[in-house]
Amino acid sequence: MGDIGLTPMTLAMAREFRDDEGADALLALVLERAGDNRDAAIISRHASFPVTAEGPLKNIPFGVKDNIDCLPFATTGGTPALSEYMPLSDAPPVARLKVAGGYVPVKLNLHELAFGITSNNAAHGPVRNPFDPARVAGGSSGGNATAIARGVIPFALGTDTGGSTRIPAAFCGIAGFRPSTGRYPDGGVLTLSTTRDTIGPMAVTCADLAEIDALIVEEPSDPAPSQALRIGVLRAKAGLSAPVDIAMDEVFAKLGSAAGITLVALEVPEFDDLDARFGNTIVLYEAFGVWTRFARDMAGISLAEFADMIASPDVRGIFQALPDIAAKEAAAYARAIAHDLPDLRTAYARLFSDHALDLIAMPTVSVQPPLIGEDEMMQTDLGLRPTFPTVAANTALATLTGAPSLAVPAGMDRDGLPVSLMIEAMPGQDRFLLLLGQRIERILAG
C-alpha cells in the first residue's frame, strides 16, 4: 500500500478554492479524495450538493464522526449493530455549524462505538496512519484525523472520552481540541460516559479550531493574553520512545527560549495512572447504564443481544463484560464521583494557583503510533506495554478535571512521524487556551 498523499486543506484554503473554482468544484474535490479510501477513513458519503445557509462557512464542507447524529446519514457508531439507526435531528454542534453555512458530505470511521484508541475497526477496516499505513491513525476519532491530514475536508467533529480527539490528532499531525466538559450542548451522540464525554473539533491548525469553537459557542472574545506566560511542564511518561523524547526535548527547548515564556518543571504524582485508579470505573459503569437503555429503547433488544452484533472482538468483549463490571464496581463508582473526582479537581486548581501557572503542557502521546494489530500490547523502548493506557496516559487528565485541552502540531520525529504538544488551562478558559495555542503553534513552526 503506497502513500495516498498528504495535501491538508485549511479553512482559508477551502474558501479560496470555493471562491476561485466554485462550490461545486470544492464538493467534487472532497468526493474525489474521499473515494480513495485505502486508509478506511470514510464510512459513507453524500454526493448531492445541499442548500446551505448564509454564514461564515457558506458552502464549506466538514466531516462528522459516525457516532454523532448528522442528517441525512445514519448514525452507525461504526458497528453493524446500528447500520440502520437513523437519527431524528442533527446533534446541536452539527446544527450550529450548518446554520453557519457548512455542510457534511462524509461520515467518518472510528474505533467501533468509540471504545478504543486505535480505530482498528473490524467492520469497516483499520484506519491507517497517513504518514505510515502500517500504523494506526489513533482513536477513537481516527477517520477524522486521517481525512483531515490528507485534505478530504478542512475540519471535522469528533468525540473525546479519554483522548479521542487529541490522540489521533497527535498521530496524524493535525490539531485537536477537547473543550471544557459541558461547554458544547449535549445530545445527538452515541455516549459512553456522561461524566467524561464531549464533542470536540479537529482541524489542520489551532486558528481553524478557534473559529469553529466560536461558531458552536457564542461568547464575548477574550482580551489578548499577556505576553508573559508561565507554563508547567509534565514529562512523567518519558522513556517509552527515544524518537518522541528527542523531538519533545527540542519542542520544549524552542518553547522555553521564546520571548516571555517561562517553563516550570513539575512532578505531580496525583496525575499518574488516573484511568487505572478510577477513570475506567467511571466509563465502564456509566456505559453499562447508557447502553442497556439504548439497546432496550432504540432497538428493542437486550444489552447481551446488542453486544453479540458488535464486529470488533475487543469492543464486543467489553460490552459482554459490562453487566459484571457494573455490579462489581458500583461502590467504586460512587466513591469516584463523590471523592476521587473532586479531589483531583482540587489538586488541579491548586497546582495552577501554587505555581502561578497560565497553562500546563506535556506530550499529547509519549509513543509513536502503534502498528496495526497492536490492539492489546505494543512495543516500546521499555518492552511490551498495554496499548490503551500507554497511549492515553496523558490525555486522561482533562477528561476527569473537565479542563479544556488542545493538541498542537509540533513537527516530526527522526522517523518522519508527527509529534504533538498538549496544553491545558483551567476549566472554562477555552478561548484563552485556543488563543495561546495559536501563539505556540507559530513558535513551534518558526
Q: Position 22: which residue type?
A: G
Distance CA 144, CA 42 (A): 9
Q: Position 324: which residue type?
A: D
Distance CA 210, CA 201 (A): 9
pTM for this predicted structure: 0.97
Partnered with residue 229 across adjacent β-strands are 261
Angstrom CA distances, 360 to 84, 170, 274, 413, 433, stand at 43, 17, 17, 22, 10
The number of residues making up the chain comes to 446
H or E stretch including 409? strand 405-412
Residue entry with cell 485556543 = 434
Partnered with residue 63 across adjacent β-strands are 106, 156
Beta-strand pair 103-108/359-363: unpaired
Distance CA 363, CA 359 (A): 14
Query: In 3D, which of 36, 193, 34, 20 has the Cα closest to residue 104?
Result: 34
Question: Greatest CA separation found in the chain?
Answer: 61
Phi, psi of 395 (to 5 degrees): -75, -15
Q: From first to last of its 446 residues, what are the pLDDT tens digits of the chain?
A: 334 456 899 999 999 999 999 999 999 999 999 999 999 999 999 987 777 889 999 999 999 999 999 999 999 999 999 999 999 999 999 999 999 999 999 999 999 999 999 999 999 999 999 999 999 999 999 999 999 999 999 999 999 999 999 999 999 999 999 999 999 999 999 999 999 999 999 999 999 999 999 999 998 776 667 789 999 999 978 899 999 999 999 999 999 999 999 999 999 999 999 999 999 999 999 999 999 999 999 889 999 999 999 999 999 999 999 999 999 999 999 999 999 999 999 999 999 999 999 999 999 999 999 999 999 999 999 999 999 999 999 999 999 999 999 999 999 999 999 999 999 999 999 999 999 999 999 999 98
Of the candidates 141, 164, 241, 312, the residue annotated as catalytic is 164
pLDDT at 3: 43
pLDDT at 1: 32
CB 40 within 8 A of CB 109: yes
Q: Is 273 left (phi over 0), alpha (psi -120 to 50) or beta?
A: left
Residue 140 a catalytic site member: yes
Grid cell digits, residue 434 = 485556543
> DSSP readout, 54-98?
SSTTTT-EEEEETTB--TTS---TTSGGGTT---SS--HHHHHHH
Of the candidates 98, 107, 119, 140, the residue annotated as catalytic is 140
Q: Is 89 left (phi over 0), alpha (psi -120 to 50) or beta?
A: beta
CB neighbourhood size of 291 (10 A): 19
Distance CA 186, CA 309 (A): 27
Distance CA 183, CA 165 (A): 15
CB 359 within 8 A of CB 436: yes
CB 348 within 8 A of CB 405: no
